[in-house]
Amino acid sequence: MKTIRQTLLISCMIVVLTAAAAQPDDAVITSIRNAYSQAKEAIKSGKNQGNEMVTTLNYTVRGEGKTTETLHFFYKTVQGTYVMDDDGDPHFYYYPLYFITRSYNIGKRKYYEEFLFDTDTEQLIFAFMQGYDENGKKIDRRFYFKDGSVYDTLGPAPTPYMEEQVMLQADELKRAFNNIARNPKE
């Protein structure tokens, strides 16, 4: 009787796993994953060719100690033109941001984050957060965005306001990059 139950349980598990594997991926998530793969490939193939800015910050978090934060900004270079009334040079370069990585520590805990932006609209489409839960266990969360809002989240359920905080953080990092790179308004 026990072996029949075990065989039945194993068979049910195989059926469930097969059905889950056979389901097609969501088209939005698939396109974001493709964009992520393309961004990672562009970063890998573009090493030492420019279009990357690295900033390292050192500061102290009260009650936690010294912190080192490293930001990597990956961008494209696009040439544009101004409409000019005088004989000035009408050309400028614009640097659309497409990927940011952020790594930092708070005390002895290490954190890592990634932000992927649509290459045409520069809207946030994906965020990866590696951190810790309230019990100190290391966790990963993936946020997929569509039309400026969260489409899906993988990993532990986000806490209240976490999705909004992720979008605000990505926006702040993008704004900081644009100020440093002095991106002209189009």
Domain locations along the chain: 24-181
Q: Per residue in 116-168, pLDDT tens?
A: 999 888 899 999 999 998 888 999 999 999 998 999 999 998 888 899 999 99
Contact 41, 83 (CB under 8 A): no
Which burial class, exposed, middle or buried, applies to 129 when counting CB atoms under 10 A from its CB (0-12, 13-18, 19+)?
buried
* Long-range CB contacts (within 8 A, 24+) of 83-89: none
Q: How many CB atoms lie within 10 A of CB 57?
A: 10
Cα–Cα distance between 64 and 84 in angstroms, integer? 53
Looking at the DSSP bridge assignments, the partners of residue 22 are none
Q: How many CB atoms lie within 10 A of CB 36?
A: 18
Q: Per residue in 65-82, pLDDT tens?
A: 889 999 999 998 877 665
pTM score > 0.85 for this model? Answer: no
